[in-house]
Chains A and B, each alone.
Chain A
Amino acid sequence: MQPKITAKARCADREVGRISKVIVDPLSHEVSHVVVKEANGQGYERQVPVREIQQVVNEEEILLRCTAADFQQFPVLKRDEYVTIKDVEIAHLEDRLHVEPGEVLVPFPKLERDVPRRTFFANMTQAIGALIALPLVYPVLKYLMKPMYRPFDNSWFSVGNVQKIKKEGIGYQFKFIRGLKEAFMPEQKIEKNVWVVKATPEIQQAVYGGKDKKFYDEKGNVIWVNKATAPYIGYSGKCPHLGCGYKWRRTKNFPDGVFLCPCHLSIYDAAGRVLDGPAPRPLDVLPMKVDAAGEIKVIDIEYKAGVKDQIRLL
């Protein structure tokens, strides 16, 4: 039971006053003192620690341990050392504290007393909300997905002449410019590159394993076949690890030269085989043809990086 504010405070010998305020500990959220306004004398408000309450007789009355004379010794409340709980933000205080002068009631509207009806309206609100939102999901998804899957581009690009390559077994980079038409944008010229190696029989064997390599479009039709005996091999400039651009480098450990990707330090030999580093598969061989004049043409295929198998993206 909790005494009300305005409850009488009695000592063993006589009544001394009424509770006028309570003081709360902001850390423990417990009531630490009651403030008792003296019934007679100066009418001082005195701060009585809760441990001095011997018994809560009922909501209207509390019994203190002390005598009426001792009561006079409790300190007078210094109001300016306190603030009301409306003036501060103390988390969860309301949940713990129930010092109300009794229950305060307001009428419960008649229409709200019918629980099944309330539930019906609540459910209908949810249902109509869903009816608005759900039909939008598919169109929005399709709207956002429009450019995600594009047909492959199987056109040939001229990248340079094989006469530039003087030596077998080293990587030679050809840069080329290709047009790219994207959605509403005017066609843009973008720079790309392809690495071409004049193959030794050993490299041809390592790349093709004696078998011609077929290239496919999205329907699975063969679009080109690289002959296993072709003297030149072209690699996509995109590192199969995570898609950076690699370089041909001579290093201390590989004085003859290797393909080295500066991003995550994958190293490949002239046949595209992974020698070191995190790459999951060899360099990607591109469909390539060399005409009588030595002009190299490639299909600018891109494969997904970071996976064991070649998954064509472009």
Chain B
Amino acid sequence: MNGKADIAEKSLFEKVVDFVDERVGLKTIQAKMLNEPVPGGSRWAYVFGSCLLFIFIMQAITGILLMFYYVPSTDHAYASTQYIIHEVDYGWFLLSYHFWGSSAMVVMVYAHMSQVFLWGAYKKPRELIWLVGLALFGLVMAFGFTGYLLPWDQRAYWATVVGVEIMDKTPLIGDFLSRFLKGGPTPGQMTLSRFFVIHVMILPAALMGLAGLHLFLFRKAGPAGPFRGTPEELKAKTDYFFPRQVWKDIVAMATVFLIVCTLAFIEPVTLLEEATPDPGDYHPEPEWYFLFLFQMLRLKVFSGEFGQFLGAVAIPGAFLAFLAALPFIDRSPERNIFKRPVALIGWIVVMTGILVFTVSAIINREFLE
């Protein structure tokens, strides 16, 4: 090869790329990032994780934009949110996108966890990915809970009052935890300040760190691939992460984007009255993804002090602990969901339970009118 001629033919851009590559190892990084074989080939079932990343990035962007006008104080939070909705150009859209984006995030988390569960992808050697994923699930819920207070309307205030009272029922640390979150005995400015800093600083930092770890561990273990098929069949269908999986991912992201935009247009955010410790005619209710828990606490079995501890803390806590222990309990290497009847039935029961409780909470609204 004629070295001199070769250099002469390179464009300035290529030279810059070569310069950086020599120092950073860009091409290797790119190859390692994109050329990851997906056993059994790319699939639509694998898009949920990438979608979550996309939704998070959009939440971060819209969230930062909202902070240009939002003021986290009890005498300005409501007014500044109204200003965003009614005065700032496209403010209503960015706020509504952020609002519906949070719902999309929760839906996608359920989809992602379900896919991983049904595909048996939490099993050895992927236990840690599953555990970090559960922590990320907790963060997503915490995002929803803390963000809900910020507009400081009645809906926001009462969801927080009840939510914090529920945390108060945690044994030993409950009282400290709820006072710590409220920044006092009752919700007020300190609560808003705390929820704000948790929502815009602590949770995003934690989520970025843990999501990074989640991806690193995922790459370390490699994709699990389909739950059936011989090695020969899998090998025959194998392709790289780029471009086929990336293509499916971007189509899914675009779909999510369109749905969230549509929801923001059809059902833009409107505020209720400004928050005050008198609920007036408002019937307090949490955001829809907490409705099933809310409805559960209406049951007679969860009445009284112990019942409340059971329904609000012990059962959700035990369920999460069970999910965390799952890869260590379920050690059979069988990943085919159709050969794991307990897992399949369990998943159906949990999902149906959540659905039934959510729907009955919605039906209960009519009864209260």
Contacts and interface: CB of A to CB of B under 8 A. Distances in A.
Given A182-B189, A243-B161, A306-B165, A278 B298 contact: yes
A88 B37 contact: yes
A92 B184 CA distance: 51
A185 B298 contact: no
A190 B180 CA distance: 22
Contact of B189 (A150, A185, A263, A279): A185
B222 A91 contact: yes
B300 A278 contact: yes
Given A244-B161, A305-B165, A150 B279 contact: no
Contacts of B300: 277-278
B303 interface: yes
B185 A263 contact: no
A222 B221 CA distance: 66
Interface residues of B, number: 62
B94 to A, nearest CB: 28
Given A26-B37, A26-B238, A89-B36, A193 B188 contact: no
B235 A27 contact: yes
Nearest to A149: B179
Interface string B277-319: 1111001110000000010011110111101100110000000
A191 B276 contact: yes
Given A88-B36, A242-B297, A308-B304, A182 B278 contact: no
Q: Which of A193, A238, A262 has the most CB of B within 10 A?
A: A262
Given A302-B185, A306-B305, A28 B240 contact: no
Interface string A64-93: 000000000000000000010011111110
Contacts of A313: 185-186
A3 interface: no
A101 B36 CA distance: 26
A280 B308 contact: yes
A87 B31 contact: yes
Contacts of B169: 306
Contacts of A242: 161-162, 165-166, 297, 308
A26 B235 CA distance: 8
Given A88-B31, A147-B183, A27 B231 contact: yes
B39 interface: yes
Contact of A191 (B166, B180, B184, B277): B277
A244 B184 contact: no
Q: Is the interface of A mostly helix, strand, loop or mixed?
A: loop
B35 interface: yes
B158 interface: yes
A193 B311 CA distance: 29
A144 B180 CA distance: 8
Contacts of A302: 185-186
Contacts of A185: 73-75, 189
B28 interface: yes
Contacts of A86: 28, 31
Given A148-B179, A182-B188, A185-B75, A90 B222 contact: yes
A147 B190 contact: yes
A162 B184 CA distance: 33
Nearest to A307: B305
A88 B190 CA distance: 51
Contacts, number: 153
A278 B307 CA distance: 8
Interface in A256-290: 262-265, 277-280
Contacts of A160: none
B303 A277 contact: yes
A182 B184 contact: yes
A145 interface: yes
Contact of A304 (B168, B180, B190, B278): B168
Contacts of A149: 179, 185
A118 interface: no
A88 B184 contact: no
Contacts of A191: 276-278, 280
A28 B304 CA distance: 57
A175 interface: yes
A174 to B, nearest CB: 11
Contacts of A277: 298, 300, 303
Interface in B141-187: 158, 161-162, 165-166, 168-169, 175-176, 179-180, 182-186
Given A27-B234, A307-B305, A182 B190 contact: yes
Nearest to B369: A262
Nearest to A279: B303
B331 interface: no
B43 interface: no
Contact of B35 (A83, A175, A262): A83
A192 B185 CA distance: 16
Contact of B186 (A25, A88, A183, A314): A314
Contact of B185 (A90, A175, A237, A314): A314
A309 to B, nearest CB: 9
B276 A190 contact: yes
A223 B169 CA distance: 29
A91 B305 contact: no
B219 interface: yes
Contacts of B161: 242-244
18 contacts: A26-B37, A27-B39, A83-B35, A89-B33, A90-B36, A183-B189, A192-B276, A243-B161, A244-B158, A262-B284, A263-B162, A263-B284, A263-B294, A265-B298, A277-B298, A278-B307, A279-B303, A314-B185
Interface of B: 28, 31-33, 35-37, 39, 73-75, 158, 161-162, 165-166, 168-169, 175-176, 179-180, 182-186, 188-190, 219-222, 231, 234-235, 238, 240, 276-280, 283-285, 294, 297-300, 302-305, 307-308, 311-312, 364, 368
Interface of A: 25-28, 83, 86-92, 144-145, 147-150, 175, 180, 182-183, 185-186, 188, 190-193, 237-238, 241-245, 262-265, 277-280, 302, 304-308, 313-314
Instruction: Report the 10 A-B pairs with minimum CB-CB distance, sorted nearest first.
Output: A91-B222, A245-B279, A278-B303, A313-B185, A262-B283, A191-B278, A89-B36, A191-B276, A88-B35, A148-B179
